[in-house]
């Protein structure tokens, strides 16, 4: 059954500040693609870095065929380019991980209140004096699994708690589905399938103006347009191979 909403979590990987900038670039790429598809987008949580990057950002996309298209973005994305902080013109390699989590329905994931540890903390980033004075941000830990989720986007603690719980449920659903796949050999993913987060799925090579999807062994040029959200050809190629 088609999922009408997904939660996408992008985390900076290897590469320090440059990895955080790449995480921001991926977020903006998906945001522009989402706008072109007339999907709704909502930022749920983010942790900014120096130079305007993101150590982590989570956002929700809602619309027609959103999961069937975005599922192929899950995995490790690698970028090769000259960072803004590089003074000698050397090309660096950095990574960011993308998790694509179907947003569960109310009946899909049940959580016992006693299994939750809820913490509050001061939000960071934009927001003026308010974020420095109120413990409005919320972090929820699911004690049996150790999985955590947080939100600091809303000004009201109760709203952040609701958002963090939605992210947590999506992570728990992903874990449950991943365990099912591992237990059922016949349902293991094919060539494209559902990429695990540790698998390298794409390389963005800026000096050669090339994007390569390693799962389907195919490359595209005009990387600048791709980063502007022109992902249609890439997603269709992934869909065709996975059929």
| 89 and 152 belong to one structural domain | no
Report pLDDT for 116.
93
- So what's the pLDDT on residue 134? 62
Residue 206's domain spans which residues?
5-105+189-242
What pLDDT shows up at residue 183? 61
134 and 60 within one domain: no
Q: What is the pTM of this model?
A: 0.79
- 175 and 193 belong to one structural domain: no
State residue 218's pLDDT score. 94
Could you tell me the CATH number of the domain that includes residue 232? Answer: 3.30.70.1660
CB atoms within 10 A of CB 9: 22
User: What distance in Å separates the CA atoms of residue 70 and residue 97, rounded to the nearest whole number?
Assistant: 14
Q: Is 22 in the same domain as 97? A: yes
> How far, CA to CA in Å, does 153 sit from each of 45, 83, 127, 188?
6, 29, 9, 37
> What is residue 174's predicted lDDT score, i.e. its pLDDT?
84
Phi and psi angles of residue 11, each rounded to the nearest 5 degrees, phi first: -125, 135
Per-residue model confidence (pLDDT) at position 243:
61
Tens of pLDDT, residue by residue over 58-83, are: 999 999 999 989 999 999 999 999 88
* CA atoms of 199 and 77, how far apart (whole Å): 9
Name the domain count of the chain.
2
For 66, the token pair is 């959103």
CATH code of 150's domain = 3.30.160.20
Amino acid 2: pLDDT: 52
The Cβ of residue 43 has, within 10 Å, a number of other Cβ atoms equal to 14
Burial per residue of 146-167, b for 16 or more beta-carbon CB atoms within 10 angstroms, e otherwise: ebebbbbbbeebeebbebbbbb
Positions in the chain whose pLDDT score sits under 50? 1, 127-133, 185-197
What is the spatial distance between Cα 149 and Cα 168, in angstroms, rounded to a whole number? 5
């Amino acid at each position: 059954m088609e999922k009408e909403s997904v939660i996408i979590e992008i985390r900076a990987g290897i590469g320090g500040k440059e990895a955080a900038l790449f995480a921001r670039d991926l977020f903006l790429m998906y945001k522009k693609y989402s706008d072109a598809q007339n999907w709704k987008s909502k930022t749920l949580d983010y942790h900014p870095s120096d130079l305007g990057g993101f150590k982590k950002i989570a956002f929700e996309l809602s619309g027609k065929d959103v999961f069937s298209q975005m599922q192929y973005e899950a995995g490790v994305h690698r970028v090769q380019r000259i960072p803004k902080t590089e003074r000698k013109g050397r090309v660096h390699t950095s990574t960011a991980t993308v998790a694509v989590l179907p947003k569960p329905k109310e009946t899909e994931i049940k959580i016992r209140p006693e299994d939750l540890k809820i913490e509050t903390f001061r939000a960071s980033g934009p927001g003026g004096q308010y974020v420095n004075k109120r413990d409005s941000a919320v972090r929820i830990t699911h004690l049996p699994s150790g999985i955590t989720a947080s939100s600091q986007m809303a000004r009201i603690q109760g709203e952040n708690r609701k958002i963090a719980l939605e992210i947590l449920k999506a992570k728990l659903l992903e874990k449950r589905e991943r365990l099912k796949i591992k237990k059922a050999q016949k349902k293991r993913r094919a060539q494209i399938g559902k990429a695990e987060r540790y698998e390298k799925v794409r390389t963005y090579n800026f000096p050669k103006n090339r994007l390569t999807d390693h799962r389907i062994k195919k490359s595209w040029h005009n990387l600048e347009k791709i980063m502007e959200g022109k992902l249609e050809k890439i997603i269709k190629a992934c869909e065709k191979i996975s059929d």
